[in-house]
Structure 1
Amino acid sequence: MGNQDIITLVVASDNQYAILLGALLKSIEENHKTGEKIDVYVLDDKISASNKSRISSTVNPERITLNWKTISSVIPPHLTIPVDNTAFPFTAYYRIFASHAIPADRERVIYLDVDMIVLADISKLWKTDIGDCLFAAVQDWQLTVSCSWGGIPNYKELGIPADTKYFNSGLLIMNAKKWRDEDITTKVIKFMHENVKFINYADQYGLNGALYDRWFQLDSNWNCFAQFENEAPYIIHFLDVKPIFKSYRSRPEFKEEFYKYLRLTPWKDHKPVTNYNRLFKKIYTKVKKKSLQLFSFK
């Protein structure tokens, strides 16, 4: 089996959402029916040793190999993540570096947000033909860059047509070779630094703004948002409050699917917890970003 026959995945997680990563990996393993090996590269944002142990024991190492990568080992030294005004954690930006997290001989990589569960065989997604496009994604529920409550706020100034489709960055099939050859990571980061005051959805703003005409549109079932009814999704994406919290408010049947897989992990006895930790994390992120902005002000 050559390296291009190995399904290569990248995920990023902090310690709070390690539990989500456990459920995601178990769902991938349970629904992978073909013989390819799966290599998973975890961009580790301070996941505790105990949670790493839980995640490692979740998967069969003969089927899924876990590779732990610190973000400092992945971000090129000349690049810095922009400090925006959102409550999105810095972890959200790590997908932009996915092509740098995998071996140089890997030509394709799938990036997945950890707040997902995979209900179809991941090999079907892996084998999707995206033609000459740089990457593939699913259209977001914001639909176009001109969405009044989201999208790209400065799309007119950037010269992007108002009807340009807007994608969700939670799932990306990336042509990793082309991404590296064209130094796309640097271009996206540079774009965000130049437009930092317009950043609304963290990395998603930068990817849509810089690469609006470079993507292939996937079947929406590959990134089904848990707020909406769908009888046969391939991947469920918990965009809103995650199912580990009591304040979860998306479709109840998708919460059941999540716990179906979580019960197959070391977190099998987990019960939904209060919202305080989630809200504290958002406040902490906002304060941290504000501090960094003040510190860097000259």
Structure 2
Amino acid sequence: MTPTDNINIVVASNNHYAILLAALIKSIEVHHKTPEKISLYILDDGISADSQKKIRASVSKEMVEMHWHKTNTVIPKNVKIPVDKSAFPVTTYLRLFADQVMPADTKRFIYLDVDMIVKEDISKLWNADLKDKPIGAVLDLSETAGSEWGGIPNYKELGIAPESKYFNAGMMVVDVQKWKKGDLGNKVIQCLHDNLASVNFADQYGLNVVLVNQWQELDPKWNSFAITDVKDPYLIHYLDIKPIFKSYNSIPRYQDEFYTYLRQTPWKNHKPIPDYVRIARKAYNKAKKIVSAYLK
């Protein structure tokens, strides 16, 4: 990448997690020191007008250029989202088709889950060497396909070696041309339909099956999980209960760091909210997934 290229970042959010997106993009802005501007592609799964206004006000227009894309413009009409057994929202599947909303000559993008904050200059991740692989990512907590509690439950049936490395899909650096050429979005969706009984972590399962041994492992500090105590992480990923909830149960100082950035946004007065809201959202996510699949 050259210093004149914009850094393309893709995020996907519903209205529930718009507040997380504000903290994420503020953290990116605070630590970005090199000359590139940021093109932020927001895959919008129902973010309200009020939340959109707050997100826009969270960062400088001079540094961050936002492109908003509604769900129905991201997922192709002929694609049927699988109804897996997880509570992951439909929003998670949008990343599979991010290439659909970007200019045809786009070379790469960084995908980030919104439950993250960035503590290093994003340009360093942008310039990561993918070594001719379609994506770069970081090992998941389960680490291998044969993990007893994560990984790929039916790895044996698929002929995948149990020691094959398994990545977390919350942060990916994507070579767009390789993604398009491999038709990877559609392949992942088909994989999920074909193996629905074994799908444990939504499209992360399919990504790891389709891209087994075909991804570049990046520095683990670029996807450091909030339940692990890592010295000077580049990116903190709140995998478990999010820091906006009273029942947050990961490392306490990471919740404090989240609020350091959130306080620099229009959500600056936010206080952690009761756990029943989180539980209700999970139920909502499951119901919406079923309805969306039926309507497709």
Shorter-chain TM range is: over 0.9
Aligned to 1:124: 124
Rounded to whole Å, the distance in 1 between the matches of 2:241 and 2:146 is: 25
Answer yes or no: is the 8 Å Cα contact 2:146–2:155 preserved in 1: yes
TM-score by length of 2: 0.96
Q: Which residue of 2 aligns with 1:181?
A: 181
Query: Contact 1:85/1:290 (CA < 8 Å) preserved in 2?
Result: no
Deviations 1:229-259 (A, max 9, x none): 0120000000000000000010011111100
Q: Is the 8 A contact 1:43 1:94 kept in 2?
A: yes
Match of 2:267 in 1: 267
Q: How does 1:48-197 map to 2 (within 5 A)?
A: 48-197=48-197
Question: What is the rounded CA distance, in whole Å, between the counterparts of 2:292 and 2:171 in structure 1?
Answer: 29
Structure 2 match to 1:23: 23
Instruction: Name the structure 2 match of 1:45.
Output: 45
How far, CA to CA, are the matches of 2:249 and 2:3 in structure 1? Answer: 41
Instruction: Give the CA RMSD over aligned residues.
Output: 1.7
Deviations 1:124-183 (A, max 9, x none): 000111111010000001010111111111100001001001100000000011111221
Q: 1:287 Cα deviation (Å)?
A: 3.7
- Contact 1:88–1:202 (8 Å) recurs in 2: yes
1:61 Cα deviation (Å)?
0.7
- 1:201 alignment counterpart: 201
**Partners in 2 of 1:286 and 1:48 — Cα distance?**
20
In structure 1, C-alpha distance between the alignment counterparts of 2:64 and 2:280, rounded to whole Å:
34
Residue 279 of structure 2 corresponds to 279
**Please, which moves more after superposition, 81-90 or 234-243?**
81-90
CA 1:29 to 1:292, structure 2 compared with 1: closer, same or farther past 3 Å?
closer
Q: In the alignment, is residue 216 of structure 1 matched against residue 212 of structure 2?
A: no
SS of alignment partner, residue 168 of structure 2 = strand
Match status 1:10 vs 2:10: yes
Q: CA deviation at 1:191?
A: 0.9
Aligned partner of residue 58 in structure 1, secondary structure: coil
Partners of 2:3 and 2:36 within 8 A in 1: no
Query: What displacement does 1:284 show?
Result: 2.3
What do the CA deviations read for 1:33-72 (whole angstroms, capped 9, x no partner)? 0010100000000000000000001111111001100121
Unaligned runs of 5+ in 1: none
Query: Once the 2 structures are TM-superposed, how far is the Cα of residue 200 of structure 1 from its aligned partner?
Result: 0.5
Amino acid paired to 1:21: L
How much has 1:292 moved relative to structure 2?
6.7
Q: Note closer, same or farther for the CA distance 1:83–1:248 as it changes in structure 2 (3 Å cut).
A: same
Runs of 4+ that moved beyond 2 A: 1-4, 284-293
Q: How many residues align?
A: 295
- SS of corresponding position for 1:92: helix
- Tell me, which stretches of 5 or more residues in structure 2 are unaligned? none
Counterpart Cα distance in 2 of 1:240 and 1:72: 28
- Identity, in percent, stands at 52
* 1:289 Cα deviation after fit: 4.3
Q: 2:248 matched to which residue of 1?
A: 248
